[in-house]
Copies of this chain bind each other. A is one copy, B any other.
């Protein structure tokens, strides 16, 4: 792989975080370009960044001479180019289950509580975020009753796990009562021990503020 890989990321963006885990698991080296979501009204809203990513969202990934957007499509691309370790099962039904678990977070929870949406929501946004995270996690816990082993889908680390960990970080930020989700907690606690998850953590990124840094 001679071509440079560049990740446009923000340390605490959960969609960026998912892609960082995938890159770490698949051992793809990359340059980290920080996009500060708060400073100066958000660098993601600059004309320059929007040329790369018209939604004004992180992450974007430069790879193989292409510019990719949207975390799950980026992860699917990495899966095709770097098949090992596999983040999807091999059978069609397994893939559908992992993708559905991923979408519960990706389309069912995260869009309702991301920074842009909460800024627009205004007063009462914490309660709004907490409501939607809790509703989604109730569904996720139910699905995990059928699919989970050590991780979300049996004992294989999958795309669903890459979505789960950042969402639990946000659940805690918004003070969701996590005691009601024993399977999610159990899976989460195992995942965060894995080296790729440790490396991708928001506390360890080039743009992590000093007071949030853990080494």
A77, B55: Cα distance in complex, Å? 27
A76, B56: Cα distance in complex, Å? 26
Chain copies in the assembled complex: 2
Interface residue count on the A side (C-beta < 8 Å): 44
Determine whether the beta carbon of A93 is less than 8 Å from that of B107.
Answer: no
| Interface residues of chain A: helix, strand, loop or mixed (majority) | helix
**Does A168 sit within 8 A of B, measured CB to CB?**
no
CB nearest to A79 among chain B residues = B92
Find residues 136-186 in chain A having any chain B CB closer than 8 Å to their own CB: 136, 138-140, 142-143
Contacts A/B (CB < 8 Å), 13 sampled: A54-B138, A54-B139, A54-B142, A54-B143, A55-B104, A64-B93, A73-B95, A73-B100, A77-B95, A77-B96, A120-B128, A120-B131, A120-B132
